[in-house]
Structure 1
Amino acid sequence: MKPNLAIRMAWRLVWQIVLSSILAIITFYFSIIVLERMTRNNDIHRTFFKKLYDMFGETPLLIFGVFVLFTVYMVIFNWRRFSYYDQLSRSVEHISKGHFNDLIPVKQNNEVSYLADNLNSLVLELKRSLDEERKAEQTKNELITNVSHDLRTPLTSIIGYLGLIEQDRYRDEVELRHYVQIAYSKAERLNVLIHDLFEYTRMRHDVIPLNKQAFNLVEMMNQLLVHYRLSLESAKMKGKLISNVGELTLMADPDKLVRVFENLLSNAITYGYTGGKVEIYLNQYEESAVVDIVNYGEAIPAADLPHLFDRFYRVDKSRAENGGGTGLGLAIAKGLVEKHGGSISVTSDGDSTNFRVRLPLS
C-alpha cells in the first residue's frame, strides 16, 4: 500500500527546510570567517565589507546572507525533482499524441514517481479500453457479416423454389411437393437461426430470467434420452446413461438446462454417428454435479477446440448445409451454463469427444 502522499510531501518539505536552514547558517558562518581572514590584510576588501555593514546593518545582512544560501540549498535539493517534472510533462505530451505503448519512466522513490506510476496505470487502462473497443467493433462487423450470410443462404433457396412454383415450372404434383418440402425445410432453418439470434442477444444483454426450482438431474437426463430415442435410431446409434448416484438435486431453471443438453446431445448425434453410440455420465464431485456427454465419432481438430464456444464458429466439417447448425448453439449453451454458476468444456482425441458440464448442487 502506498503511503499518504500529502503526509510524505509535508515531511519531505519540513526536512528540506530544516536541513537547508542549518546548512545555510553553517555555510554563512564559515564564509564570514573566511572573508575576515581574506580581508584582514586587504584594506580594499575590508573597506568594502565595512560599507556593507554600515549600509544594511549587521543583522539584516546576516538574514539576507542566510536567506540566499537557504534558497540555493532548497533549489539543489529539489533540482532532480524539477528535472523529473519536466521529463514527466514531455512524456505525458508524447503519450497524449497516441503513443500508448510508451510509458513514463519511473526513476525516483518519491511522490513524483508515484504520480508517474499512476499515470502509467491510467495509460495501460486506456489502452486496454481502446483495444476492447476495437475488438467489439470487429466482433460487431463479423456478427453482421455472419448473420447476413446465414440468413441469405436459406432465404435464397426459399425464393428460388417458390419462384419455380409461382411460374409453374414443375412437371407434376410429385415435383411440386418436392419443391414445397425443400422451401419448408429452408424456412424452418431460417426460423431456428432467427430464434437462436434472439436468444443469443438476450443472453448477451443478461435479460434472460431464470425460473429456478429444485429438480433431479438424473431424471432429466433419462427423459432426454427417451425423447431422442428416434433420432438415435435414425442415426443407427445407441444412447446410454451411466451414473454412480440415483439423485442429483439442482436448484436451477430446468427448461434452460434442457436447452443446453439438447444442443450437446444433438451435436453428438450429428457429428458422432460413425461411433455408433452416445454415453452420458453423471457424477458428483464435491459440491458440483458433473455431466459428460461422450460420442465416439470423428475427433474435433485441436485447432478448433479453443474456439468451439465462440458465436458463429463452426468446424469445417460442419459447414455443409445439411449438417451445419447456426453456429450459435454452443455459445448459447455456454452462456446458460455460466448464468447458472457452472462451467462447460470440451476435450477430443482420436477415440472420443467429451463435452463436460459442471453445475453447482443445491
Structure 2
Amino acid sequence: MRKLQWKIIMLFFLSGALTLAILFITQQLMRLIGKEMWRESWVQSLFYVNRSLQNFFGFPVVATVIGILLFIGIVMLLSQGTIRQINQLMLGTKRLARGELDEEIVVSSSDELGQMAVQINQMAAQLKLSLAEERTAVQSKNELISNVSHDLRTPLTSIIGYLRLVNEDQYKDEVELRYYTDIAYDKSLRLGRLVNDLFEYTRMGYSPINRADINLVELLGQLAVDFSLPGQTDQVKVVFTPSTEKIMISSDGDKLMRTFENLLANAVRHGKDAGRVDLNVARDSVHAIVQVINYGSPIPQHAIPHLFERFYRVDESRTTQTGGSGLGLAIVKAIIDAHHGTIHVTSNTEMTTFEVRLPLQTVQ
C-alpha cells in the first residue's frame, strides 16, 4: 500500500524524461533555424558567456540551469492534482476542528490521500453521530429529571399535607384521623413503588446481563402459579399454555422474571373485569415467543407507539388509582432490548396482546 510513494517516483521520472525531451527537441530546432541567428552580435555574446562559464565550472552551466528550471516547472505542473488533494485534506481537517461536520472531503484518488480522506469523512460522521447522541442523552436526562420531579412531588405533597393536618390536630375525631393516615399511607406506598421502579429503570443502563441457560417454560409456569394464588390477583385466573415442555434460552433469569412480572401485573390490572389472563409460550426456528393476553378495555391505537416511553400513561386517572408509576413497560423494553429481543403490542375490542420474542440457544 504505497501508491503515493510510487506516484511521486513516477512524477519525478516523468518530469525528468519530459525535461530531457524538451531540451533535446529545443536543441534540434535551434540547429535547424538558428544559422542566421549566429550572425547576430547578442547571440554571439551569449555563446561566448556560456562557453566561458562552461570552461570555468567544467560543465554547461546555462543548459543545466535551464534544465533545472524546466524540470521544476514540469514537476509543479504535473503535481497540481496531488497538491489540490492535500489542500482539500487540510481544509477538511480545519473544518473538522471548527466543528463543521456536514461537508465531506472529496478526494477521488485511491492512494493514501484518498484513504485518508475517507477516514476523515468517517471520523466526521462518527463525531456527528456522537454529538447527536450526546444531545439526545442530555435531553433525555433533563426530561427524566423533570418527569421524576413531577411524579415524586405529587404524592409527596399529599403525604405532607395530610400529615400536617394530623400534626396540627386538625381532625374531628379518630375516624377522620384514620382517614388522613390511610391516605398518607397509600400515597407513601405509591411513592415507594415509583422510587423502586425508577431505581430499576436507571440501573438497566449499567447493570450487566448475567446470562445463564434457562428453561423459559419452567420460569413462566412458576410465574403463572404465583399470580394464580388466592388474594394475589383479585380473582383473575392466569391460564398458562406452553406448546412444549422445554424452551431453552440464554438470559438473565432475574431480569427476565421482572419483565414478565411487569407484563402479567399490567395485564391483570387492566383486564381484571374479564377474570382471565392468558400466558402462552411457543417457539419457531430462531425465537422463543411469549404472549401475555388480557381481555379488558382496548388500548387506543394512537397510544400504542408510546407505551414503552418513560412515564407515559394511557389513562392518567386510571393509572394513578391503580398505583402505576409509568415506568413498568419502559423497564420491560429495556430488559428485552438488552437480551436482543423484541416486543410488539396489538389491541382491539376483543383482546390486548403483548408478544415478546427472545433468541433461542444455538443448540437445544
> Shorter-chain TM-score: which interval?
0.7 to 0.9
Q: Which residue of 1 aligns with 2:189?
A: 188
2:187 aligned partner, one-letter code: K
Structure 2 distance, partners of 1:89, 1:72, is 24
Runs in 1 of length 4+ with deviation above 6 angstroms?
none
Deviation at 1:275, TM superposition (A): 5.2
Q: Which residue of 1 aligns with 2:217?
A: 218
Q: Which residue of 2 aligns with 1:343?
A: 341
Contact 1:279 1:293 in 2 (8 A): yes
In the alignment, does 2:10 pair up with 1:12? no
Q: Which residue of 2 aligns with 1:353?
A: 352
Are the structure 2 counterparts of residues 279 and 125 from structure 1 closer, same or farther at C-alpha, using a change threshold of 3 Å? same
Q: Which residue of 2 aligns with 1:243?
A: 242
Cα deviation digits, residues 174-206 of structure 1 (max 9, x gap)? 222222111111111111111122222222112
1:270 aligned partner, one-letter code: R
Cα deviation digits, residues 10-39 of structure 1 (max 9, x gap)? 110111111111111010011112223343
Q: Which residue of 1 aligns with 2:258?
A: 259
Deviation at 1:269, TM superposition (A): 1.9
Are the structure 2 counterparts of residues 96 and 187 from structure 1 closer, same or farther at C-alpha, using a change threshold of 3 Å? same
Counterpart among 16, 23, 30 of residue 28 in structure 1: 23
1:184 aligned partner, one-letter code: Y
Deviation at 1:120, TM superposition (A): 1.7
Are the structure 2 counterparts of residues 342 and 76 from structure 1 closer, same or farther at C-alpha, using a change threshold of 3 Å? closer
In the alignment, does 2:294 pair up with 1:295? yes
1:81-96 superposed matches below 5 A: 81-96=82-97
Q: Which residue of 1 aligns with 2:104?
A: 103
Deviation at 1:124, TM superposition (A): 1.4
Structure 1 distance, partners of 2:142, 2:269, is 30
Structure 2 distance, partners of 1:251, 1:88, is 48
Q: Which residue of 2 aligns with 1:50?
A: 47
Q: Which residue of 2 aligns with 1:128?
A: 129
Deviation at 1:138, TM superposition (A): 0.8
Contact 2:213 2:248 in 1 (8 A): no
Structure 2 distance, partners of 1:115, 1:211, is 41
Contact 1:157 1:186 in 2 (8 A): yes
In the alignment, does 2:35 pair up with 1:40? yes
Contact 2:12 2:75 in 1 (8 A): yes
Higher mean C-alpha deviation, range 33-42 or range 262-271:
33-42
Structure 1 distance, partners of 2:149, 2:283, is 43
Higher mean C-alpha deviation, range 181-190 or range 282-291:
282-291
In the alignment, does 2:267 pair up with 1:268? yes
Structure 2 distance, partners of 1:210, 1:187, is 33
Percent of aligned pairs sharing the same letter: 36
Structure 1 distance, partners of 2:231, 2:82, is 77
Deviation at 1:314, TM superposition (A): 3.0
Structure 2 distance, partners of 1:250, 1:8, is 51
Are the structure 2 counterparts of residues 77 and 271 from structure 1 closer, same or farther at C-alpha, using a change threshold of 3 Å? same
Structure 2 distance, partners of 1:233, 1:50, is 115
Count of residues in correspondence between the two structures: 353
Structure 2 distance, partners of 1:79, 1:126, is 31
Deviation at 1:159, TM superposition (A): 0.9
TM-score by length of 1: 0.85
Contact 1:237 1:278 in 2 (8 A): yes
Contact 1:232 1:239 in 2 (8 A): no
Are the structure 2 counterparts of residues 217 and 112 from structure 1 closer, same or farther at C-alpha, using a change threshold of 3 Å? closer
Cα deviation digits, residues 309-337 of structure 1 (max 9, x gap)? 33333335577421362222222223334
Q: Which residue of 1 aligns with 2:168?
A: 167
In the alignment, does 2:197 pair up with 1:199? no
| 3-state SS, counterpart of residue 81 of structure 1 | helix
Structure 1 distance, partners of 2:250, 2:75, is 70
Are the structure 2 counterparts of residues 47 and 75 from structure 1 closer, same or farther at C-alpha, using a change threshold of 3 Å? same
Structure 1 distance, partners of 2:340, 2:80, is 58
**Unaligned residue ranges in structure 1 (runs of 5+):** none
Deviation at 1:292, TM superposition (A): 0.8
Q: Which residue of 1 aligns with 2:326?
A: 327
Q: Which residue of 1 aligns with 2:140?
A: 139
Contact 2:241 2:281 in 1 (8 A): yes
Structure 1 distance, partners of 2:171, 2:213, is 54
Deviation at 1:168, TM superposition (A): 2.3
Are the structure 2 counterparts of residues 109 and 284 from structure 1 closer, same or farther at C-alpha, using a change threshold of 3 Å? closer
Deviation at 1:87, TM superposition (A): 4.1
Higher mean C-alpha deviation, range 158-167 or range 280-289:
280-289
Deviation at 1:82, TM superposition (A): 2.2
Give the superposed CA RMSD. Answer: 2.8
1:182 aligned partner, one-letter code: I
TM-score by length of 2: 0.85
Deviation at 1:265, TM superposition (A): 0.7
Cα deviation digits, residues 32-89 of structure 1 (max 9, x gap)? 1222334311222541442243133264444333222221111110123323433443
